[in-house]
């Protein structure tokens, strides 16, 4: 059956969906008495529609009146799904505007009389086309159906939500796609026992590639959310299509508004275009057939059915807009496939419970179907990447899939609406401008989602082994992290950056947005992910104490405010991270490295992570209670004061700061001039770990100790922030700090006198590898910006990306980034398996390789941007300076190379083991 008249799909009410007609009649007689005028008792009839997988739908007859009843399905339901009250609201709002919807008649929001809420609407009698190939229609009629479908959608998107009474209150159009991604990701996970790897990859890519325009859509609109051919009732009442006039194919009513809200209309349009992209071998989905099936020759659609490009053109003409850039279109399509997949996963879950509203639910929503949908989305992404990699010189493929190429005219921007020729000359001759979004609007490169428009890297990295060793748990966290970054972190970057580069009076203060983001990340369980399970295992008592400080309301003292109690209870849940390995965290940390602000949002930033690690490993319980707990909660920040202005501090035996124990032994007095103390300018910085000498007569590596110094202790003076290539990195800063006769209780000593070197070694483990992990993320972001620039920027009559030199450089960047990633992950894995000592060579290699590789990539990306690359308009200059410092700040390259060489010599038996450690002198046998 390829089409049906609405009333022909009626059947008896299915098992599990029974309706108590007596109760319903009694209720309706009370609510809608006019409906029953002259109608004898017990004459209400109920039948069930077979079409539709979500809300069960029934025909209710009262005398001659036919009404349609939609209700929530019975059984356990996913949160926020099946909101029939919202359906009713949107129908009631749209119908007075003349938009084709059935008139809303009555809403019952309570559970009586049917056990779930329901609503009634008028019955639209007409024809529903199930098969998008429209086999029973003549070519002209097919065209009419598609044209009407596009125009009705454009009309919906042109309506003013506020004028309809739907704004505010019916949804928030900002960040629609990012929210959709989160919502369907959650629902997918809630529906399946274990997520499929293909779906995890897809979610991951989507999270990293939300188009920048989604943050605040240019056209906020009522979106239908499930706009498909088979959700439209057409006027044509007859079975045969042959002789009917084209007016018969006017839409009478658009149905099934369950997923409607206010949002980004492109998501609706892409969803509507899915039949062009549904997996060809899954016959259970209604897709568009091509080739012989369509009767139009290889690759052709059925005669009269428009190509996707034509269809988009009809929509755009009716809505008065240009199509989105081709790469954004790939995102919208992939998101739409993912939504369909997630919806079907919900249908599958209900089928397993026996609650599906359609008899063939298990078949339509099988695992095979879900996997095929994910693969189709990944194929669209791969095509978009290939198109980007091939540069604009190729016009054979675009993110719109095989049915549409680059801009119909062949312009480098690959925007389907572009009217420029292959050389980028606007149609209409000199002096004319092309108004398509691809040519005229560069997206600000400081937004990673703009970089994402090149669609080139994340999936490539995955394909190249970038997700090597990722556990299912971390994969799940990674996709949530990516979605969180897209929804919350990238959009906040501009505001945070503005404050940090603003006037002196505010630049050293914390933007309230940062604390808001931290609270959100905590709530989302994306907190302290850096904390390895092995270290967290020893801190259970700290969490228990925190929980104990947050007793149930009845038991608590009045001194503990309700807000504090709630915060403590919430923090306890995420205090000890997610129990990840260093290898797992490597994949997550890389994502955070894409944004300078992200690590702090997730409480994963330096120097706090290294300091927390020191306290977790070597601190006393009292030290952990006083300093580690607030650090883990993100309530304070910290700094690490080792490097001194006066001496070469890459050799820590040189340091001259002193830590003197009082004769009574009750306190220490410390003095020294430190600089490059990162984070010391941050107003939240409450404590420093200070390294100095307690015994200058001891062996060189036993002279040093570390003590905890409250930043407000008398004698601590933050003198100035150091500049890094002119940046002061406000509001954290890298400060020169003078410690002058600062007194701290003896209990502030960490681990013991003379054990400072030992602690420093431990601190140089995971905490230091995090920098490398983040660098890989920065490299990916630089590559995305570079590829996008190459496609958009025209030099000497063609796009930059068409130049062989550009391509060779881009390819080398890929090799650099993937190579660095593999070394970093190998080091993290070695750390998990063999501890810091066993992993020393691998960590040294990663620390040298990552900054050097990523610097080459950043340099190439800057070069491709020309002057813009070194300017404040792109994130590249900032990323470059940060990467450059890491060849020094994380220990100079030469020191790591020395360690690697020593260990290599030792491995080959050419060096005694004792001389291979830090500070050992090589005694070569050569
Ligand atoms: C942005 C930034 C943030 C920092 N944050 C902190 C912080 O929070 N806390 C802190 O204590 N310090 C911090 N530092 C300081 C950093 O750790 C030191 O700069 C680093 O250890 C090098 O010490 P130095 O600057 O004294 O250089 P020196 O020790 O003087 O070394 C100078 C150069 O000598 C060469 N060299 C050194 N050793 C060898 C060798 N064995 N073989 C061959 N050549 C060698 C290298 O080229 C090296 O770059 C930070 C630095 C920067 C730039």
Cβ of 889 closer than 6 Å to ligand 1, yes or no, is: yes
Instruction: Tell which residue, 433, 427, 393, has the closest CA to residue 413.
Output: 393
| Location of structure tokens 């230091």 | 768
Cα distances from 688 to residues 267, 681, 711, in angstroms, run 50, 12, 6
Cβ of 677 closer than 6 Å to ligand 1, yes or no, is: yes
Domain match, 663 and 769 both: no
Ligand 1, atom 46, lies closest to the CA of 892
Domain limits for position 75: 3-129
- Ligand 1 centroid, distance to 736 Cα (angstroms): 14
Rounded CA separation 755/919 (Å): 15
Spatial CB neighbours of 569, under 8 Å, sequence gap ≥ 6: 547, 550
Is the CA virtual torsion 555, 560, 563, 565 positive or negative? negative
Cβ of 885 closer than 6 Å to ligand 1, yes or no, is: yes
* Count of C-beta atoms within a 10 Å radius of residue 872: 11
- Ligand 1 centroid, distance to 884 Cα (angstroms): 12
Cβ of 734 closer than 6 Å to ligand 1, yes or no, is: yes
Cβ of 678 closer than 6 Å to ligand 1, yes or no, is: yes
Give the H/E segment covering residue 843: helix 804-865
Cβ of 74 closer than 6 Å to ligand 1, yes or no, is: no
Instruction: Tell which residue, 250, 254, 199, 206, has the closest CA to residue 226.
Output: 254
- Ligand 1 centroid, distance to 411 Cα (angstroms): 50
Is residue 371 situated within a structural domain? no
- Domain boundary residue, one of 730, 761, 792: 761
Is residue 924 situated within a structural domain? no
CA 762 to chain centre: 33
Ligand 1, atom 12, lies closest to the CA of 643
Cα distances from 338 to residues 200, 792, 827, in angstroms, run 10, 29, 35
Predicted confidence at residue 642, as pLDDT, reads 96
Cβ of 638 closer than 6 Å to ligand 1, yes or no, is: no
For a mutational test of ligand 1's pocket, the pick from 609, 655, 676, i.e. the residue with the most ligand atoms closer than 8 A to its C-beta, is 676
Cβ of 676 closer than 6 Å to ligand 1, yes or no, is: yes
- In the chain, the number of structural domains is 3
Spatial CB neighbours of 680, under 8 Å, sequence gap ≥ 6: 639, 641, 688, 711, 718, 733, 734, 735, 737
Ligand 1, atom 18, lies closest to the CA of 889
Predicted confidence at residue 462, as pLDDT, reads 40
Ligand 1, atom 15, lies closest to the CA of 889
Question: Do residues 216 and 487 make contact, with C-beta atoms less than 8 angstroms apart?
Answer: no
Question: Do residues 348 and 370 make contact, with C-beta atoms less than 8 angstroms apart?
Answer: yes
Domain match, 713 and 782 both: no
Predicted confidence at residue 537, as pLDDT, reads 82
| Location of structure tokens 């056209």 | 219
- Ligand 1 centroid, distance to 65 Cα (angstroms): 85
Ligand 1, atom 33, lies closest to the CA of 892
For a mutational test of ligand 1's pocket, the pick from 649, 656, 682, i.e. the residue with the most ligand atoms closer than 8 A to its C-beta, is 649
Domain match, 747 and 809 both: no
The domain that holds 631 is classified in CATH as 2.40.110.10
Rounded CA separation 671/660 (Å): 9
Rounded CA separation 787/632 (Å): 39
Is residue 909 situated within a structural domain? yes
Rounded CA separation 596/730 (Å): 12
Domain match, 669 and 585 both: yes
Is residue 234 situated within a structural domain? no
Predicted confidence at residue 688, as pLDDT, reads 98
- Ligand 1 centroid, distance to 61 Cα (angstroms): 83
The domain that holds 36 is classified in CATH as 3.30.200.20
CA 725 to chain centre: 32
Domain match, 531 and 600 both: yes
Question: Do residues 788 and 822 make contact, with C-beta atoms less than 8 angstroms apart?
Answer: no
Domain match, 532 and 666 both: yes
- Ligand 1 centroid, distance to 404 Cα (angstroms): 55
For a mutational test of ligand 1's pocket, the pick from 607, 892, 898, i.e. the residue with the most ligand atoms closer than 8 A to its C-beta, is 892
- Domain boundary residue, one of 80, 114, 129: 129
- Ligand 1 centroid, distance to 732 Cα (angstroms): 19
Is residue 544 situated within a structural domain? yes
- Domain boundary residue, one of 103, 129, 155: 129
**pLDDT means over runs of 10, the chain (926 residues):** 74 80 91 87 86 75 91 64 84 93 91 86 89 88 92 94 89 90 89 85 88 82 93 73 66 91 94 90 73 45 87 88 85 95 88 69 81 90 73 35 35 42 44 40 33 34 52 83 89 92 94 97 95 86 87 56 83 91 93 94 96 95 97 98 96 95 96 98 98 97 97 98 95 97 98 93 77 96 94 93 96 97 94 85 95 98 97 91 94 94 90 51 30
- Ligand 1 centroid, distance to 835 Cα (angstroms): 25
Domain match, 749 and 824 both: no
- Ligand 1 centroid, distance to 694 Cα (angstroms): 22
Minimum-distance ligand 1 atom for the alpha carbon of 724: 1
Cβ of 763 closer than 6 Å to ligand 1, yes or no, is: no
Cβ of 757 closer than 6 Å to ligand 1, yes or no, is: no
Domain match, 615 and 484 both: yes
The domain that holds 777 is classified in CATH as 1.20.140.10
Domain match, 501 and 535 both: yes
Is residue 117 situated within a structural domain? yes
SS3 98: coil
Minimum-distance ligand 1 atom for the alpha carbon of 674: 11
Minimum-distance ligand 1 atom for the alpha carbon of 643: 11
Minimum-distance ligand 1 atom for the alpha carbon of 691: 11
Domain match, 683 and 821 both: no
Question: Do residues 721 and 727 make contact, with C-beta atoms less than 8 angstroms apart?
Answer: no
Cβ of 901 closer than 6 Å to ligand 1, yes or no, is: no
Is residue 148 situated within a structural domain? no
Q: Quick one: tokens of 746?
A: 């003896």
Predicted confidence at residue 920, as pLDDT, reads 37
Domain match, 55 and 92 both: yes
* Count of C-beta atoms within a 10 Å radius of residue 515: 13
Cβ of 551 closer than 6 Å to ligand 1, yes or no, is: no
SS3 48: strand
For a mutational test of ligand 1's pocket, the pick from 879, 888, 917, 920, i.e. the residue with the most ligand atoms closer than 8 A to its C-beta, is 888
Minimum-distance ligand 1 atom for the alpha carbon of 898: 41
Minimum-distance ligand 1 atom for the alpha carbon of 885: 53
Domain match, 666 and 711 both: yes
Is residue 327 situated within a structural domain? no
């Amino acid at each position: 059956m390829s089409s049906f008249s609405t009333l022909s799909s009626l059947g008896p009410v299915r098992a599990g969906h029974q309706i108590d007609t007596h109760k319903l009649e009694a209720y309706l007689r009370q609510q809608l008495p006019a409906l029953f005028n002259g109608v004898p008792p017990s004459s209400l009839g109920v039948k069930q529609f077979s079409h539709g997988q979500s809300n069960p739908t029934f025909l209710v007859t009262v005398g001659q009146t036919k009404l349609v009843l939609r209700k929530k399905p019975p059984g356990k339901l996913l949160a926020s799904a099946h909101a029939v009250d919202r359906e009713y609201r949107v129908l009631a709002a749209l119908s007075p505007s003349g938009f084709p919807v059935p008139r809303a008649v009555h809403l019952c929001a309570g559970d009586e009389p049917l056990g779930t809420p329901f609503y009634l609407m008028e019955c639209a009698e007409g024809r529903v086309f199930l098969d998008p190939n429209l086999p029973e229609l003549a070519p002209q009629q097919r065209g009419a159906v598609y044209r009407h479908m596009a125009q009705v959608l454009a009309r919906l998107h042109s309506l003013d939500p506020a004028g309809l009474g739907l704004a505010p209150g019916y949804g928030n159009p900002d960040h629609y796609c990012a929210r959709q991604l989160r919502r369907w990701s959650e629902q997918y996970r809630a529906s399946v026992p274990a997520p499929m790897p293909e779906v995890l990859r897809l979610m991951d890519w989507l999270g990293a590639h939300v188009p920048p325009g989604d943050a605040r859509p240019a056209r906020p609109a009522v979106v239908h959310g499930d706009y498909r051919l088979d959700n439209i009732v057409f006027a044509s009442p007859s079975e045969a299509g042959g002789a009917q006039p084209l007016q018969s194919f006017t839409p009478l009513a658009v149905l099934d508004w369950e997923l409607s809200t206010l949002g980004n209309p492109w998501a609706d349009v892409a969803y509507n275009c899915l039949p062009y992209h549904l997996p060809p071998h899954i016959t259970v989905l209604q897709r568009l057939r091509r080739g012989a099936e369509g009767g139009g020759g290889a690759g052709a659609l059925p005669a009269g059915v428009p190509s996707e490009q034509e269809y988009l053109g009809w929509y755009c003409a009716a809505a008065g807009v240009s199509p989105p850039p081709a790469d954004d279109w790939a995102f919208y399509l992939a998101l739409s496939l993912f939504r369909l997949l997630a919806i079907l996963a919900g249908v599958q879950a209900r089928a397993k419970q026996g609650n599906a509203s359609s008899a063939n639910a298990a078949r339509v929503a099988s695992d095979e179907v879900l996997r095929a949908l994910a693969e189709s989305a990944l194929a669209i992404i791969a095509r978009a990447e290939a198109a980007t990699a091939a540069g604009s010189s190729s016009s054979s493929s675009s993110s719109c899939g095989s049915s549409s190429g680059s801009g119909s005219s062949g312009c480098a921007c690959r925007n389907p609406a572009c009217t420029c020729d292959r050389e980028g000359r606007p149609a209409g001759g000199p002096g004319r401008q092309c108004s398509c979004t691809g040519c005229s609007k560069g997206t600000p490169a400081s937004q990673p989602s703009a970089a994402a428009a090149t669609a080139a890297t994340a999936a490539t990295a995955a394909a190249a082994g970038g997700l090597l060793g990722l556990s299912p748990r971390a994969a799940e966290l990674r996709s949530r992290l990516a979605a969180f970054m897209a929804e919350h972190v990238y959009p906040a970057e501009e505001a945070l950056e503005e404050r940090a580069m603003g006037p002196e009076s505010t630049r050293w203060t914390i933007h309230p947005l940062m604390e808001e983001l931290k609270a959100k990340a905590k709530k989302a369980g994306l907190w302290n992910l850096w904390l390895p399970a092995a270290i967290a295992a020893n801190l259970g008592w700290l969490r228990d104490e925190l929980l104990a400080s947050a007793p149930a309301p009845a038991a608590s003292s009045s001194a503990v405010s309700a807000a504090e109690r709630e915060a403590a209870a919430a923090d306890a849940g995420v205090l000890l991270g997610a129990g990840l390995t260093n290898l797992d965290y490597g994949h997550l940390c890389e994502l955070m490295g894409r944004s300078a602000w992200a690590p702090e949002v997730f409480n994963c930033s330096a120097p706090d992570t290294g300091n927390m690690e020191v306290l977790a490993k070597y601190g006393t319980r009292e030290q952990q209670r006083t300093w580690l707990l607030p650090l883990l909660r993100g309530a304070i920040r910290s700094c690490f004061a080792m490097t001194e202005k006066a001496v070469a501090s890459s050799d820590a035996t040189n340091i001259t700061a002193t830590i003197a124990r009082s004769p009574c032994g009750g306190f220490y007095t410390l003095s020294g001039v430190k600089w490059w103390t990162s984070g010391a300018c941050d107003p939240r910085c409450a404590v420093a770990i200070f390294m100095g000498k307690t015994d200058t007569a001891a062996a060189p590596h036993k002279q040093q100790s570390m003590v905890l110094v409250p930043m407000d202790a008398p004698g601590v003076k933050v003198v100035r922030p150091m500049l890094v290539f002119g940046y002061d990195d406000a509001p954290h800063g890298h400060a020169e700090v003078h410690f002058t006769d600062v007194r701290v209780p003896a209990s502030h000593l960490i681990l013991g006198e003379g054990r400072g070197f030992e602690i420093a070694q431990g601190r140089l483990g995971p905490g230091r590898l995090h920098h490398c992990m983040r660098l890989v993320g920065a490299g990916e972001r630089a590559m995305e910006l570079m590829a996008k620039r190459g496609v958009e920027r025209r030099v000497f009559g063609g796009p930059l990306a068409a130049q062989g030199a550009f391509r060779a450089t881009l390819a080398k960047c890929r090799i650099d980034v993937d190579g660095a990633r593999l070394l970093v992950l190998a080091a993290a894995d070695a750390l998990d398996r063999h501890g810091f000592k066993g992993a020393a060579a691998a960590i040294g290699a990663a620390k040298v390789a990552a900054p050097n590789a990523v610097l080459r990539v950043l340099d190439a990306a800057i070069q491709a941007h020309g002057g813009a690359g070194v300017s404040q308009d792109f994130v590249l200059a900032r990323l470059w300076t940060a990467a450059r410092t890491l060849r020094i700040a994380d220990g100079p390259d030469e020191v790591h190379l020395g360690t690697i060489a020593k260990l290599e010599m030792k491995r080959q038996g050419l060096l005694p083991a004792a001389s291979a450690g830090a500070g050992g002198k090589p005694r070569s046998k050569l």
